[in-house]
Amino acid sequence: MIQGILRIDVSLFPKVYYVMHRKKAYSLKKERSSPGLRGRLWIDGTDGTFLGYGRIILLERIRELGSITKAAKSMAISYRHAWELVDSMNRQSPRALVESATGGRNGGGAQLTEDGEKAIVLFWELFADFQTYLKLQQKKTRQLWR
C-alpha cells in the first residue's frame, strides 16, 4: 500500500510547459492563446516527493527498457539522477518499486516489481481525476478574463 500526502499545486499563469515525448522530455516556452487553469500533481512520502509525473515516466521507461541507464538516457537525465529518484521511491515505499541487478559479464538490468506496476496505475488514475477536476473548475476561472 502506498502511503503519503496528496499535494496539489495549482498555477493560473505558468510560463513553461513540459511535454513528454516517447524518448525525451521537451521544455516549451509557449504563450497560450487562452488563459486557463493548470496544475501539477505529486504524492508526498516520508522524505518529500514520493511519486510525480516525471518519476512515473521514469518507472515506465525502466519497465520498457529494462535498465535505469537506458531509461535515464531516454529522458535526457543523468544516470545518477535517475538512480537517486529510484532509490528515493524505493526507500519511501514499504516494498521496493524497482529491483536492479548489478552489471557484469551478462550486464545488469532493472525491472519493476508488482508494487511498481501498482504505483503507475494508481498515479495515472489520480492524474485523470485531477485533470477532470481542473476542467470542472475552469468555468470558475473564466470570470477572471471577462
CA proximity to 7, closest of 34, 50, 58, 43:
43
* Cβ neighbourhood burial of 102 (10 Å; 0-12, 13-18, 19+): exposed
3-class secondary-structure state, position 77: coil
Q: How confident is the model at residue 13 (pLDDT cuts 50, 70, 90)?
A: very low
pLDDT for the residue numbered 32: 54
Q: What is the pLDDT of residues 120-142, one digit of tens each?
A: 999 999 999 999 999 888 888 87
Q: Report the CATH number at residue 55.
A: 1.10.10.10
Cα–Cα distance measured from residue 18 to residue 117, given in angstroms and rounded to the nearest whole number: 24
Report the chain's mean pLDDT, rounded to a whole number.
80
pTM across the whole model: 0.73
List the grid coordinates of 6: 496528496
Q: Quick check: 95 pLDDT over 80?
A: yes
CA distances in angstroms from 56 to 38, 41, 87, 97, 103, listed in the order given: 19, 11, 14, 11, 24
CA distances in angstroms from 108 to 67, 101, 103, listed in the order given: 8, 5, 4
User: Of all helices (H) and strands (E), which one includes residue 110?
Assistant: strand 109-112
The share of the chain scoring above pLDDT 70, in percent, equals: 73
43-64: average pLDDT: 95
Q: Considering its fold, how many domains does the chain have in total?
A: 1
Could you identify the residue written with the cell 470570470?
143
31-48: average pLDDT: 80
71-85: average pLDDT: 96
pLDDT for the residue numbered 84: 97
Range of the domain at 22: 5-145
